[in-house]
Chain A
């Protein structure tokens, strides 16, 4: 059974720091991997999607990488800002599935001014 793990569960950094969030999954037969952001009491906002054949995707200050063979993905946030404070979730879509995602429990990020 696919399991998705995110470490650390919480992270606090000073503004301006570059940081890396980690996501690991147990079954490498994935279709894609998606990173989301969730603000308190809100829904999920899609940040980046990496297809299984890709190694990385970039959007602004965000860069996500995927190493399918080792079951790992990282989300790199450059020059962090207080507005980046949120919970970041990664999710994998299994190959052959109808699109349902398996989620990690998230990393709660706090960026201090």
Chain B
């Protein structure tokens, strides 16, 4: 089975802190994604990566950056956390073929106080 592992299920940080969310996949997928999910807004794409050291902005990249130094690992960075970044963060991975589904981790519930 495909495994996408997010480093934390719950995280509490303070305003202004630099926050790192880590995601690891074990399927050698080229593509990895970071979404955030908010009530009433659904899932929105923050950033994605289609290869090591490559990244593309999604719909809501402001206030975030990402890092992909190894194929299996994709990190989301909140440069200076703010309360409006309190959310559920979901990491996903998938292959490039149209027949390959996207697989998600269990999510990180992040609270910024």
Q: A residues touching B (Cβ–Cβ < 8 Å)?
A: 31-32, 34, 36, 41-46, 49, 51-52, 89, 91, 93, 98-101, 103-106
B48 in contact with A93 (CB, 8 Å): no
- What sequence of 0s and 1s flags, for each residue 81-113 of chain B, a beta carbon within 8 Å of any chain A beta carbon? 000000000101011101111111111010000
B45 in contact with A100 (CB, 8 Å): yes
- How long is the Cα–Cα vector from A46 to B92 in the complex, in angstroms? 11
- How long is the Cα–Cα vector from A32 to B101 in the complex, in angstroms? 9
- How long is the Cα–Cα vector from A99 to B100 in the complex, in angstroms? 10
Q: Interface centre among B40, B43, B56, by most A CB within 10 Å?
A: B43
Residues of A within 8 A of B102 (CB): 34, 46, 91, 93, 99, 101
B50 at the interface (CB under 8 A from A): yes
What count of chain B residues pass the 8 Å CB interface test?
Answer: 29
Contact of B98 among A41, A45, A51, A103 (CB under 8 A): A51
| Nearest B residue to A48, CB-CB | B101
B63 at the interface (CB under 8 A from A): no
Residues of A within 8 A of B43 (CB): 89, 91, 101, 103
Taking the nearest CB of chain A, how far is it from the CB of B45, in angstroms? Answer: 5
Taking the nearest CB of chain B, how far is it from the CB of A39, in angstroms? Answer: 10
Residues of B within 8 A of A31 (CB): 98
B16 at the interface (CB under 8 A from A): no
B101 in contact with A100 (CB, 8 Å): no
Taking the nearest CB of chain A, how far is it from the CB of B108, in angstroms? Answer: 10
Say yes or no: A106-B104 contact (C-beta < 8 A), given A44-B90, A100-B33.
no
Contact of A99 among B40, B41, B50, B107 (CB under 8 A): B50
